[in-house]
Amino acid sequence: MRRVWIWNALIRAILAIALQLLVFNNLYLGTVLNPTIYVYIIIFLPLETPFLLLILLGFILGFIEDMALGTWGLHMMAATLIAYTRWRLIKVLEPRDGYEAGIQPKLYDFGWGPYLTYSLTSVFLFSIFLYLVESLGTIGLWRIIFMALMNTTVVVFLIVVFEIMRKKSNRGNG
């Protein structure tokens, strides 16, 4: 069973990176928006994913994005931060009786409320950190917050659409 989720996660990671590199990095939506869909990989791995693997994965995914964009460490720092804070955020959202074994932070496992809270918080934290470090104080805080909110809205919308489509395709196969 463990091999199955590892292969599924690897396939999703490759697809997300390919989408990021081939589509979203080449999509011009003004200077305000650059959807960072690859964070989906980090925030939606199974809850049992080892902490060091999360950190390493965040580092590698950020590194790949940095190499593609020539940003030299910005995405690496932000993705590693999300990997590092992921378990704390999940712990904060944990129900009183804990999570069921094998649960993933997915829409139909968490439910709408916790899912949206987790997704929005994770992607916003990633975005705000990325834009703060990227600007190094050269643009105003309100513009950084606006850019982070725009990125968060678009990325979480795409993630929710993906989750709904994934659930429908799984229902058709089963």
pLDDT tens sequence for the chain (174 residues): 566 667 777 788 888 889 998 998 888 777 668 889 999 999 988 888 899 999 999 999 999 999 999 998 999 999 999 999 999 999 998 888 888 877 888 898 888 999 999 999 999 999 999 999 998 878 889 999 999 999 999 999 999 999 998 877 766 554
Distance between start and end Cα atoms, the chain: 18
Per-residue pLDDT tens for 47-74?
888 999 999 999 999 999 999 999 989 9
- Cβ atoms 20, 71 nearer than 8 A: no
CA distance 36 to 39: 6
Q: What is the identity of the amino acid at 89?
A: L
Query: H helices of the chain, where?
Result: 2-22, 39-43, 51-69, 74-93, 107-110, 112-135, 141-173
Give 39's DSSP letter: H
